[in-house]
Amino acid sequence: MKRYIAIISVLGLTVGSVVAGIAMLTDAPPPMEISEAYPLAVKALGTNAAQYHCVMAFPMVTQNYYTNHLTGEWSFNFVNTNREHKLVWVFFDDKSAEVVHPTGF
């Protein structure tokens, strides 16, 4: 099941990049600092935020080939003591956060 979710996520990012224009992964620094993204991710967890702690965070930065606009998201992986995971994406463009996988893996 995890493999299917990962494949669908990668396909979604690929299709989204093609639709938005030619985009490429870049090693440029993310346009949003982790210190700005983390509070948004915790807020997206809602009332259960105190039960979870962050075990991994990484930026996924893409750059439009024509405009050099950087876009993407911070991906935060939270886990609680029952080993339940929540994946939260914080998007650079509109500074919004979304719990991508609310029930865990």
Per-residue model confidence as pLDDT tens digits over 60-88: 888 777 777 778 889 999 999 888 889 99
Q: What percent of the chain has pLDDT over 90?
A: 30
Place of tokens 């965070």: 57
pLDDT value at residue 12: 54
pLDDT in tens, the chain (105 residues): 555 454 555 445 554 544 444 555 667 788 889 999 999 999 999 888 889 999 999 998 887 777 777 788 899 999 998 888 899 999 988 888 888 876 555
C-alpha distances in Å from residue 80, one per residue of 43, 58, 93, 105: 16, 19, 29, 12
Place of tokens 């915790």: 42
Q: What residue spans of 1-105 are helical by DSSP H?
A: 2-20, 34-45
Question: Environment class of residue 2 by beta-carbon count within 10 Å: exposed (0-12), middle (13-18) or buried (19+)?
Answer: exposed
Domain parsing of the chain, residue ranges: 2-101
Whole-model pTM above 0.75? no
